[in-house]
Amino acid sequence: MIAGHFGLAAAVKAGRPAIPVWTLMLATAWLDVVFVPLYLSGVETVDGEGYGGGIIHADYTHSLIGALVLAALFGAVASRWLGRQAGLVLGGVVFSHWLLDLVVHRADLPILPGNAGDLPTFGFGLWRLPTVSAVVELLMLAVGIGLYWRAAAKRDPKRARTLGLSAAAFGVVTLAADLLGV
């Protein structure tokens, strides 16, 4: 779903041009960025492989409360350098990762970190339909890039074509990597 996350970040950039695009891209992937060291240390795991082919045990980074805490921390740090408004937006972008994952993940998203209390886990399971999931992700990416390009064209028509082509190329590469499990 990483390409879909980046599509959302591009859409947010269209409406908030003062926020640096790199911060939006980092924010949208922040839960996965924090997941990597936990995965490498064996704290969080993945059973299965391929595009949506596994159950992800990201019981800290991708729990509802864990995602809210990581979003608040990211937003607070961003606020220090980019201002309160940008920090709030970036915190929201971080949390949007969990909301988008809720749609595609199987029921592997816990409420509490570490799945404390062994409460029910959530996920609507769109990944069970890989073609449908890929189409939804591609649409999210296309809409995000389209909004970003349209906003960029209004601000700087000369650079809009280059921005649009660059964003589209980035999106295609990201989606391909996502589908290939790279």
Per-residue model confidence as pLDDT tens digits over 45-77: 988 876 677 788 999 999 999 999 999 999 999
Q: Which residues of the chain have pLDDT under 70?
A: 1, 50-51, 158-182
Q: What are the CA-CA distances from residue 111 to residues 30, 46, 122 (Å)?
A: 18, 18, 8
SS3 for 46?
strand
Q: What is the pTM of this model?
A: 0.84
Extract the tokens encoding 167. Answer: 């964003």
Yes or no: say if 75 and 90 are a contact pair by the CB < 8 Å rule.
yes
